[in-house]
Amino acid sequence: MTDPKPMTSDLFTADPSAHVFNGKLYVYPSHDRETDIQDNDNGDQYDMNDYHVFSMPSVSGPVTDHGVALTASDIPWVGKQLWAPDAASKNGKYYLYFPARDKEGVFRVGVAESDKPEGPFKPDPEPIKGSYSIDPASFVDDDGQAYLYFGGIWGGQLQCWRTGEFKKDAYETMEASGDEPALSPRVAKLSEDMHSFASEVQDVKILDPSTGKEIHASDHKRRFFEAAWLHKYNGKYYFSYSTGDTHLLAYAIGDSPLGPFTYQDKILEPVKGWTTHHSIVEFEGKWYLFYHDTSLSGKNHLRCVKIRELVYDAEGKIKLKEPQPKVDEE
């Protein structure tokens, strides 16, 4: 039960989105940096302002840092905070999706394009119309249709969009409460050129297997908080996410990329640090979980990416190949 070494210790990295492009692993993480901002529920301490892309020919490395792929100063609409990104490939091009606060402090999702998976990426001058909140995750299905998942409560502002319009006074509610379903992540189909939505934004419903109803707002160990990710295995769609204040990675399974998804189980127990955020990718016949913790720094806003192998049982349930040590055993 050994703890994996960080993917890199040269930079602080978090929120890793891993993909296989051209036979290589590429990782698109957040780039954490030092700040004097105190930890708070708004996430102000996560004050990132650029992205680096990493690649490796195998999970064991070596790891190449391709340098700055995109910086906040190059994006006209961005005010601050380049949070967790994702990437996709289609039509011979590569696309970087990223959330940031606009000049009014509202989180939106932008897109940037490159001819190479490592960038540099050229951003569109405006965010994707109809996008909001944080943590974009792109999935391109076998038929070529691409989707963008997004959303995060608390500092991610999803609670401000319950009516479909931004309501600033709803921010302090932080999330759904009372006798109602938890707030749902969102999904939209992407256009053929990957730069805009080709459908209306809709809820991603996560169902309780015992009732068939949506996960309840009070169920903090299973409800969605942030960090959407979608992958496909044996014809099924696996939607995974963070539970936020209970610090778990969980997943649900469905028959369509639009859901609904039925809750299955945890993937990862709490790690060192408050946040947990991940991706799941197949590479050379094996499946891997990319995630982060704070083992390098001991500070919530200075994280490092790590990798663990995943396996599936005969029923398609996910588990870690090696048991996860408890946080105090790492």
Residues annotated catalytic, as ranges: 15, 226
Q: Answer for the pair 203, 254: CB distance below 8 angstroms, yes or no.
A: no
Q: Answer for the pair 28, 50: CB distance below 8 angstroms, yes or no.
A: no
Beta-bridge mates of residue 281 = 288
What is the Cα Rg of the chain in Å? 18
Backbone angles phi, psi at 55, to 5 degrees: -140, 160
Backbone angles phi, psi at 158, to 5 degrees: -60, -35
Strand-pair category, 206-207 with 261-268: parallel
Token pair of 208, please? 């309780």
Bin 317: left if φ > 0, else alpha if -120 < ψ < 50, else beta: beta
Nearest to 175 by CA among 203, 200, 151: 151
Q: Answer for the pair 323, 317: CB distance below 8 angstroms, yes or no.
A: no
Token pair of 273, please? 């640090």
Say how far apart CA 138 and CA 153 lie, in whole Å: 19
Nearest to 262 by CA among 206, 182, 202: 206
Token pair of 98, please? 């990223």
